[in-house]
Amino acid sequence: MKLFAFPIAPNPTKVRLYLAEKRVGGCAIPLEEIMVDLTKGEQKSPEHLARNPFGLLPSLELDDGRYVWESLAIIEYLEERFPEPSLLGRDPETRALRRQLERIADIGVLISIGRLVHTTDSPLGLPPEPAVADYFRRRLAPNLDYLESVLADGRPLLAGDEVTIGDCTLAAALQFGRFRKLEFLADHPNLRRWDEAYRGREAAQGILVL
Ligand SMILES: N[C@@H](CCC(=O)N[C@@H](CS)C(=O)NCC(=O)O)C(=O)O
Protein backbone atom coordinates (compact mmCIF):
# COMPACT_ATOMS: atom_id res chain seq x y z
CA MET A 1 0.00 0.00 0.00
CA LYS A 2 1.03 3.62 -0.52
CA LEU A 3 -0.14 6.63 1.49
CA PHE A 4 -0.01 9.96 -0.34
CA ALA A 5 0.39 12.69 2.25
CA PHE A 6 2.08 16.00 3.13
CA PRO A 7 3.57 17.21 6.46
CA ILE A 8 1.52 19.60 8.66
CA ALA A 9 -1.58 19.36 6.43
CA PRO A 10 -4.06 18.18 9.07
CA ASN A 11 -5.96 15.42 7.27
CA PRO A 12 -2.84 13.51 6.15
CA THR A 13 -1.26 14.21 9.55
CA LYS A 14 -4.18 12.59 11.33
CA VAL A 15 -3.59 9.37 9.33
CA ARG A 16 0.19 9.53 9.85
CA LEU A 17 -0.30 9.90 13.62
CA TYR A 18 -2.67 6.93 13.55
CA LEU A 19 0.00 4.85 11.73
CA ALA A 20 2.65 5.95 14.22
CA GLU A 21 0.44 5.03 17.19
CA LYS A 22 -0.13 1.58 15.66
CA ARG A 23 3.62 1.17 15.10
CA VAL A 24 4.52 2.22 18.65
CA GLY A 25 1.81 -0.18 19.86
CA GLY A 26 3.54 -3.05 18.05
CA CYS A 27 1.79 -3.08 14.66
CA ALA A 28 3.93 -1.74 11.81
CA ILE A 29 1.42 -1.47 8.95
CA PRO A 30 3.29 -2.24 5.69
CA LEU A 31 2.88 0.92 3.70
CA GLU A 32 5.05 3.41 1.85
CA GLU A 33 4.48 7.14 2.54
CA ILE A 34 4.80 9.39 -0.51
CA MET A 35 4.71 13.18 -0.19
CA VAL A 36 2.63 15.25 -2.62
CA ASP A 37 3.71 18.90 -2.28
CA LEU A 38 0.59 20.99 -1.60
CA THR A 39 2.63 24.21 -1.72
CA LYS A 40 3.51 23.45 -5.37
CA GLY A 41 -0.06 22.47 -6.27
CA GLU A 42 0.97 18.86 -6.98
CA GLN A 43 -2.39 17.68 -5.61
CA LYS A 44 -4.12 19.11 -8.70
CA SER A 45 -1.83 17.32 -11.19
CA PRO A 46 -3.46 14.70 -13.47
CA GLU A 47 -1.31 12.11 -11.73
CA HIS A 48 -2.78 12.94 -8.32
CA LEU A 49 -6.33 13.49 -9.60
CA ALA A 50 -6.21 9.82 -10.58
CA ARG A 51 -5.56 9.05 -6.90
CA ASN A 52 -8.27 11.41 -5.59
CA PRO A 53 -10.77 13.05 -7.98
CA PHE A 54 -11.07 16.08 -5.65
CA GLY A 55 -7.31 16.69 -5.73
CA LEU A 56 -6.94 16.32 -1.96
CA LEU A 57 -4.77 14.47 0.54
CA PRO A 58 -4.56 11.91 2.01
CA SER A 59 -5.10 9.11 -0.46
CA LEU A 60 -4.31 5.45 0.15
CA GLU A 61 -3.40 3.20 -2.76
CA LEU A 62 -4.51 -0.34 -2.02
CA ASP A 63 -2.50 -3.35 -3.11
CA ASP A 64 -5.03 -4.00 -5.91
CA GLY A 65 -4.51 -0.48 -7.32
CA ARG A 66 -7.76 1.08 -6.04
CA TYR A 67 -7.71 4.24 -3.88
CA VAL A 68 -9.38 5.17 -0.58
CA TRP A 69 -9.26 8.90 -0.07
CA GLU A 70 -11.18 10.13 2.96
CA SER A 71 -8.97 10.26 6.07
CA LEU A 72 -11.46 8.49 8.34
CA ALA A 73 -12.27 5.88 5.69
CA ILE A 74 -8.53 5.19 5.41
CA ILE A 75 -8.16 4.83 9.18
CA GLU A 76 -11.23 2.61 9.51
CA TYR A 77 -10.04 0.42 6.63
CA LEU A 78 -6.60 -0.01 8.23
CA GLU A 79 -8.18 -0.62 11.62
CA GLU A 80 -10.28 -3.44 10.15
CA ARG A 81 -7.27 -5.02 8.47
CA PHE A 82 -4.92 -4.51 11.42
CA PRO A 83 -7.19 -4.59 14.48
CA GLU A 84 -4.49 -4.79 17.18
CA PRO A 85 -3.68 -2.68 19.09
CA SER A 86 -7.17 -1.26 18.73
CA LEU A 87 -7.52 2.51 18.48
CA LEU A 88 -11.29 2.16 18.47
CA GLY A 89 -12.11 -0.38 21.17
CA ARG A 90 -13.59 -3.85 21.17
CA ASP A 91 -17.28 -3.55 22.04
CA PRO A 92 -19.87 -1.61 20.02
CA GLU A 93 -20.59 0.97 22.72
CA THR A 94 -16.91 1.81 23.25
CA ARG A 95 -16.40 2.07 19.50
CA ALA A 96 -19.42 4.36 19.09
CA LEU A 97 -18.30 6.66 21.90
CA ARG A 98 -14.74 6.85 20.53
CA ARG A 99 -16.01 7.57 17.02
CA GLN A 100 -18.21 10.29 18.50
CA LEU A 101 -15.16 11.96 20.07
CA GLU A 102 -13.28 11.68 16.79
CA ARG A 103 -16.16 13.28 14.88
CA ILE A 104 -16.12 16.24 17.31
CA ALA A 105 -12.34 16.55 16.95
CA ASP A 106 -12.71 16.43 13.15
CA ILE A 107 -15.97 18.17 12.21
CA GLY A 108 -15.93 20.57 15.17
CA VAL A 109 -12.22 21.30 15.55
CA LEU A 110 -10.10 20.20 12.56
CA ILE A 111 -12.45 21.53 9.89
CA SER A 112 -13.02 24.77 11.82
CA ILE A 113 -9.28 25.39 12.30
CA GLY A 114 -8.60 24.40 8.69
CA ARG A 115 -11.18 26.85 7.36
CA LEU A 116 -10.01 29.57 9.78
CA VAL A 117 -6.42 29.21 8.56
CA HIS A 118 -7.40 29.16 4.90
CA THR A 119 -9.68 32.21 5.25
CA THR A 120 -7.12 34.32 7.14
CA ASP A 121 -3.57 33.26 6.17
CA SER A 122 -3.85 30.44 3.65
CA PRO A 123 -0.64 28.51 2.96
CA LEU A 124 -2.23 27.64 -0.40
CA GLY A 125 -2.64 31.34 -1.25
CA LEU A 126 -6.46 31.41 -0.97
CA PRO A 127 -8.00 34.89 -0.58
CA PRO A 128 -8.97 36.14 2.92
CA GLU A 129 -12.66 35.79 3.80
CA PRO A 130 -13.21 37.51 7.16
CA ALA A 131 -16.92 36.61 7.47
CA VAL A 132 -16.21 32.93 6.87
CA ALA A 133 -13.32 33.08 9.37
CA ASP A 134 -15.70 34.54 11.98
CA TYR A 135 -18.21 31.78 11.33
CA PHE A 136 -15.61 29.06 11.89
CA ARG A 137 -14.16 30.81 14.96
CA ARG A 138 -17.67 30.71 16.46
CA ARG A 139 -18.17 27.11 15.38
CA LEU A 140 -14.86 26.04 16.94
CA ALA A 141 -15.62 27.41 20.43
CA PRO A 142 -18.34 24.98 21.67
CA ASN A 143 -16.42 22.00 20.35
CA LEU A 144 -13.26 22.98 22.26
CA ASP A 145 -15.44 23.66 25.32
CA TYR A 146 -16.94 20.19 25.04
CA LEU A 147 -13.54 18.48 24.77
CA GLU A 148 -12.31 20.60 27.70
CA SER A 149 -15.19 19.20 29.78
CA VAL A 150 -14.40 15.64 28.70
CA LEU A 151 -10.84 16.04 30.01
CA ALA A 152 -11.99 17.62 33.31
CA ASP A 153 -11.77 14.30 35.18
CA GLY A 154 -7.97 14.32 34.65
CA ARG A 155 -7.86 11.56 32.06
CA PRO A 156 -4.60 11.60 30.08
CA LEU A 157 -6.18 11.01 26.67
CA LEU A 158 -9.49 11.91 25.07
CA ALA A 159 -11.18 8.57 25.68
CA GLY A 160 -9.38 7.74 28.93
CA ASP A 161 -6.12 5.86 29.39
CA GLU A 162 -5.89 4.42 25.87
CA VAL A 163 -4.93 6.39 22.79
CA THR A 164 -7.73 6.51 20.21
CA ILE A 165 -8.30 7.97 16.76
CA GLY A 166 -9.74 11.17 18.27
CA ASP A 167 -6.37 11.99 19.83
CA CYS A 168 -4.72 11.74 16.40
CA THR A 169 -7.33 14.01 14.83
CA LEU A 170 -7.20 16.63 17.57
CA ALA A 171 -3.38 16.75 17.59
CA ALA A 172 -3.29 17.18 13.80
CA ALA A 173 -5.84 20.01 14.01
CA LEU A 174 -4.03 21.95 16.73
CA GLN A 175 -0.69 21.67 14.95
CA PHE A 176 -2.25 23.28 11.86
CA GLY A 177 -3.32 26.23 14.02
CA ARG A 178 0.20 26.56 15.47
CA PHE A 179 1.56 26.56 11.90
CA ARG A 180 -0.19 29.94 11.43
CA LYS A 181 0.49 31.07 15.03
CA LEU A 182 -3.17 30.66 16.01
CA GLU A 183 -3.58 29.89 19.70
CA PHE A 184 -6.92 28.44 20.80
CA LEU A 185 -6.24 26.95 24.22
CA ALA A 186 -5.64 30.03 26.42
CA ASP A 187 -8.93 29.41 28.30
CA HIS A 188 -8.76 25.62 28.13
CA PRO A 189 -6.28 24.32 30.75
CA ASN A 190 -7.33 20.67 30.37
CA LEU A 191 -6.79 20.79 26.63
CA ARG A 192 -3.40 22.48 27.17
CA ARG A 193 -2.41 19.64 29.51
CA TRP A 194 -3.62 17.07 26.94
CA ASP A 195 -1.82 18.89 24.10
CA GLU A 196 1.49 19.02 25.93
CA ALA A 197 1.27 15.36 26.88
CA TYR A 198 0.25 14.28 23.38
CA ARG A 199 3.12 16.18 21.76
CA GLY A 200 5.51 14.30 24.06
CA ARG A 201 4.27 10.89 22.94
CA GLU A 202 6.68 8.67 21.06
CA ALA A 203 4.24 8.44 18.14
CA ALA A 204 4.15 12.21 17.75
CA GLN A 205 7.90 12.56 17.25
CA GLY A 206 8.79 13.55 13.69
CA ILE A 207 5.12 14.00 12.75
CA LEU A 208 4.10 16.84 15.03
CA VAL A 209 6.96 19.14 14.06
CA LEU A 210 5.41 22.36 15.42
N1 LIG B 1 -12.52 15.19 4.15
C2 LIG B 1 -11.21 15.01 3.60
C3 LIG B 1 -10.51 16.36 3.53
C4 LIG B 1 -9.20 16.30 2.75
C5 LIG B 1 -8.54 17.68 2.66
O6 LIG B 1 -9.21 18.72 2.69
N7 LIG B 1 -7.19 17.66 2.52
C8 LIG B 1 -6.43 18.89 2.41
C9 LIG B 1 -5.15 18.79 3.24
S10 LIG B 1 -5.52 18.80 4.96
C11 LIG B 1 -5.97 19.11 0.98
O12 LIG B 1 -5.56 18.16 0.34
N13 LIG B 1 -6.00 20.37 0.49
C14 LIG B 1 -5.49 20.69 -0.81
C15 LIG B 1 -6.36 21.63 -1.59
O16 LIG B 1 -7.39 22.09 -1.06
O17 LIG B 1 -6.01 21.90 -2.73
C18 LIG B 1 -10.44 13.98 4.46
O19 LIG B 1 -10.84 13.76 5.62
O20 LIG B 1 -9.49 13.37 3.98
Q: What is the Cα–Cα distance from 36 to 19, expressed in whole angstroms?
A: 18
pLDDT truncated to tens, each residue of the chain (210 aa)?
999 999 999 999 999 999 999 999 999 999 999 999 999 999 999 999 999 999 999 999 999 999 999 999 999 999 999 999 999 999 999 999 999 999 999 999 999 999 999 999 999 999 999 999 999 999 999 999 999 999 999 999 999 999 999 999 999 999 999 999 999 999 999 999 999 999 999 999 999 999
Architecture, CATH, for domain 92-203: Up-down Bundle (1.20)
Superfamily per CATH, domain 2-81: Glutaredoxin (3.40.30.10)
* In the chain, ranges of CATH 1.20.1050.10 domains: 92-203
CB atoms within 10 A of CB 162: 17
- 17 Cβ below 6 A of ligand 1: no
Q: Which atom of ligand 1 is nearest to the CA of 176?
A: 10
Helix 189-199 with 130-150: angle, nearest 10 deg: 90
Ligand 1 atom 14: residue of nearest CA: 56
Ranges in the chain annotated CATH 3.40.30.10: 2-81
Name 179's bridge partners.
none
Q: How far is the CA of 15 from the centre of ligand 1 (A)?
A: 12
Decide whether any atom of ligand 1 lies within 6 Å of the 38 Cβ: yes
